[in-house]
């Protein structure tokens, strides 16, 4: 792989994971601010919800691209890659989900902490506990890994679709993203096998199989036009959400269009910024999966605690919304370095050697 593309995938993934950390510091829910649409709501909603929808697609696209990159498309290669993904995806998924399940299970016995939980795990039936441990993980960012595992095991079908239907396969999947609910299965209000993720994963696969160049080289006005398109989509999407219900067809259509345009914008703007600033890999970037795996629950309950203490103090809330992710990322990075230094085998196990 070209160094410029390798750097792009590594660096872009790290910064998108940092934006996911920002997403999970969303702190206006339950304060009445979200309902009253205060100014803080619009700022946090933009960063935590709207922009993150675009980031998620990029993660799936990169995953699909990497699975099929330099793939000779033979059966034995599929088997080898699936076995490898069991080590890099399935095993870390199980380890982290079970670990966080028992962490929450244990701290719910602490009276001062248990008040922040709507329902105690100990009171749930075993079937619900297993569901929360492995399917609807308490460490909720891992829904992405769950979905990615589904897509990886569908890769033979993805390849057949690309081989025989070609671009029409992507058009069919692209059409499915406008369906509500946006998934093959919906169990307990949890969408499994989500169409959008499968669509962009397959786009990444298509790009790898056909040798597409993933570094854009447009002139500056083109990048400006792409950015303006996303801004227009964001504004329209905000207003349509105010006028119509979430389940209304126009709301669904604009949400999906905004996601796709945001994906294209972020992907292309990286190339423009890279040409100007010449991004290089840094040691912190290699800890991106560890940061992803460890930030979720910590930032969620820290946010719940400080929101309960400070209430509707707009300036404090918006400051903590941006400061908390930075502190959380630094702490997770420090923890990752310590584990990697003193127990490298454990670190490789829990991160899938990423």
| DSSP string across 11-75 | HHHHHHHHHHHHHTT---TTSSHHHHT-HHHHHHHIIIIIHHHHHHHHHHHHHHHHHHTT----H
What gap in Å lies between CA 59 and CA 263, rounded to an integer? 10
Q: What is the pLDDT of residue 114?
A: 66
- Which has more pLDDT, 1 or 266? 266
Q: Is the pTM of this model over 0.75?
A: yes
Task: Name the DSSP letter for residue 259.
Answer: H
Q: What is the pLDDT of residues 277-324, one digit of tens each?
A: 888 888 889 999 999 999 987 887 788 778 877 877 888 888 989 999
For 318, the token pair is 């918006």
What gap in Å lies between CA 158 and CA 170, rounded to an integer? 10
What gap in Å lies between CA 338 and CA 298, rounded to an integer? 18
For 145, the token pair is 């890994």
Does 232 have pLDDT greater than 90? yes
Contact assessment for residue 53 and residue 262, using Cβ atoms and an 8 Å cutoff: yes
Among the ranges given (41-55, 74-88, 188-202), the one the predictor scored with the smallest mean pLDDT: 41-55
What gap in Å lies between CA 288 and CA 333, rounded to an integer? 8
Contacts of 142 (CB under 8 A, 6+ apart): 93, 96, 97, 293, 296
Tell me the average pLDDT of the chain.
88
What gap in Å lies between CA 113 and CA 347, rounded to an integer? 29
Mean pLDDT of 90-114: 86
Buried b or exposed e, range 310-341, using 16+ CB within 10 angstroms: eeeeeeebbebbeebbeebbeebbeebbebbe
- Which has more pLDDT, 33 or 241? 241
């Amino acid at each position: 792989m070209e160094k410029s593309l390798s750097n792009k995938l590594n660096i872009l993934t790290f910064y998108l994971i940092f934006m996911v950390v920002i997403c999970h510091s969303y702190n206006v829910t339950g304060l009445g601010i979200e309902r009253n649409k205060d100014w803080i709501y619009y700022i946090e909603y933009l960063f935590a919800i709207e922009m993150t929808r675009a980031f998620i697609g990029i993660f799936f696209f990169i995953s699909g691209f990497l699975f099929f990159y330099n793939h000779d498309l033979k059966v034995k290669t599929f088997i080898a890659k699936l076995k490898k993904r069991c080590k890099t995806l399935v095993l870390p998924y199980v380890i982290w989900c079970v670990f966080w399940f028992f962490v929450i299970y244990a701290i719910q016995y602490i009276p001062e902490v248990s008040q922040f939980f709507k329902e105690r795990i100990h009171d749930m039936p075993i079937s619900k506990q297993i569901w929360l441990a492995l399917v609807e993980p308490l460490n909720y960012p891992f829904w992405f890994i769950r979905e990615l595992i589904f897509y990886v095991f569908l890769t033979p079908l993805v390849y057949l679709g690309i081989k025989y239907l070609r671009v029409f396969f992507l058009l069919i999947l692209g059409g499915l993203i406008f369906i509500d609910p946006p998934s093959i299965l919906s169990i307990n209000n949890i969408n499994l096998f989500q169409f959008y993720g499968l669509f962009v994963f397959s786009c990444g696969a298509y790009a790898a199989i056909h040798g597409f160049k993933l570094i854009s080289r447009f002139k500056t006005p083109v990048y400006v036009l792409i950015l303006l398109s996303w801004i227009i989509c964001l504004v329209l999407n905000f207003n349509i959400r105010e006028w119509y219900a979430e389940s209304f067809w126009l709301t669904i259509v604009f949400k999906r269009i905004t996601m796709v345009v945001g994906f294209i914008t972020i992907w292309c703007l990286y190339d423009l910024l890279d040409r100007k600033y010449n991004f290089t890999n840094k040691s912190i970037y290699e800890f991106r999966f560890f940061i992803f795996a460890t930030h979720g629950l910590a930032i969620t309950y820290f946010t719940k605690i400080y929101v309960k203490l400070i209430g509707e103090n707009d300036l404090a809330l918006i400051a903590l919304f941006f400061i908390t992710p930075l502190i959380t990322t630094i702490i997770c990075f420090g923890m990752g370095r310590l584990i990697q230094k003193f127990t490298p085998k454990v670190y490789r196990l829990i991160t899938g050697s990423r």
